[in-house]
């Protein structure tokens, strides 16, 4: 499949298009507390030329007690307008891990009806390793009009996921590590039970990536899903700890031509806290 400005582009593709006035590059780095990294400070120190910082925690639903839930349409529009990201732009999102949180922002743009958005394969580490140019200057921002049409079919809430779990009419994929999925390792967020949503299958997000944090080829992805016994004839719901790494599975599904997938935004941060919701272990 190679470079696809609607899913994934290479560092070479980005370097070739970097001077395009209709390109917008977003640094969507985000880290778990135990990673001990400050995404904003790293961006301020060094980023791909012209990149804007997309703050996943801030561009979210402030009304929700859950971490970084998808923002209301109005908030997304106002933040993008202020960042100079609008209609007619090709967006490329990257992160400082290689391919981690950038997929979440790719999914968020698609949720808002914007499809001209791709993740940078291998992210900032690959870009730097190849000796490509970086800068520490803030970008010059000019407001840009953006129209948004929320695609409700791309997101699921706890009620819909509970129904899907009960009926077995969806394939539910959990992107967390195998130990957390099985319930043999504690959750990083306090107060959450261990285990997984009944009926869900485990595809660890790292398993769709190569050693250098680029995404595996389409054939390797198909083999991975097939070998894990994943039924892709049913609609897919992805889930993880808090809706970030789940999006990597959505991106992988999109790469192999599967369009029938949604993301459970609340994920385990929500499901794991309610005793009335069943939990499976093992």
Instruction: State the catalytic residues.
Output: 240
The string of DSSP letters for 12-72 reads HHHHHHTT-TTEEEEE-----GGG---HHHHHHH-BSTTPEE--TTTSS-TT-SSTTPPPP
3-state secondary structure of 115: coil
- What CA–CA distances, in Å, run from 81 to 4, 84, 91, 151, 205? 25, 5, 14, 19, 32
- CA-CA-CA-CA dihedral for 262, 265, 266, 269, to nearest 10: 100
Cα–Cα distance, 130 to 11 (Å, whole number) = 9
Residue 145 Rama label (left phi>0; alpha psi -120 to 50; beta): beta
Cα–Cα distance, 113 to 40 (Å, whole number) = 27
Cα–Cα distance, 108 to 219 (Å, whole number) = 26
- Which of 173, 167, 189 lies closest to 247 in space, CA to CA? 173
Cα–Cα distance, 205 to 101 (Å, whole number) = 11
> What one-character DSSP code corresponds to residue 234?
S
Say if residues 97 and 103 touch (Cβ distance below 8 Å). no
């Amino acid at each position: 499949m190679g470079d696809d400005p609607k899913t994934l582009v290479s560092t070479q593709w980005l370097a070739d298009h970097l001077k395009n006035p209709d390109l917008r590059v977003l640094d969507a780095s985000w880290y778990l507390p135990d990673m001990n990294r400050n995404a904003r400070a790293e961006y301020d120190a060094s980023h791909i030329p012209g990149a804007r910082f997309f703050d996943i925690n801030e561009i979210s639903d402030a009304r929700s007690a859950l971490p970084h839930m998808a923002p209301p349409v109005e908030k997304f529009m106002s933040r993008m307008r202020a960042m100079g990201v609008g209609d007619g732009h090709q967006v490329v999102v990257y992160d400082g891990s290689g391919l981690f949180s950038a997929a979440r922002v790719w999914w968020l743009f698609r949720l808002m009806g914007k499809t001209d958005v791709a993740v940078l394969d291998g992210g900032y580490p690959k870009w730097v390793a190849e000796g490509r140019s970086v800068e520490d200057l803030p970008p010059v921002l000019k407001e840009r009009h953006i129209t948004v049409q929320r695609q409700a079919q791309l997101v699921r809430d706890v009620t819909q996921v509970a129904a899907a779990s009960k009926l077995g009419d969806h394939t539910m994929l959990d992107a967390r590590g195998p130990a957390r999925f099985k319930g043999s390792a504690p959750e990083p967020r306090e107060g959450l039970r261990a285990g997984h949503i009944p009926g869900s299958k485990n595809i660890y997000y790292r398993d769709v990536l190569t050693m250098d944090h680029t995404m595996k080829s389409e054939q390797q992805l198909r083999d991975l899903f097939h070998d894990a016994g994943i039924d892709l004839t049913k609609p897919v719901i992805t889930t993880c700890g808090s809706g970030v790494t789940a999006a990597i599975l959505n991106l992988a599904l999109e790469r192999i031509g599967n369009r029938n997938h949604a993301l459970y935004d609340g994920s385990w941060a929500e499901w794991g806290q309610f005793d009335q919701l069943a939990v499976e272990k093992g």
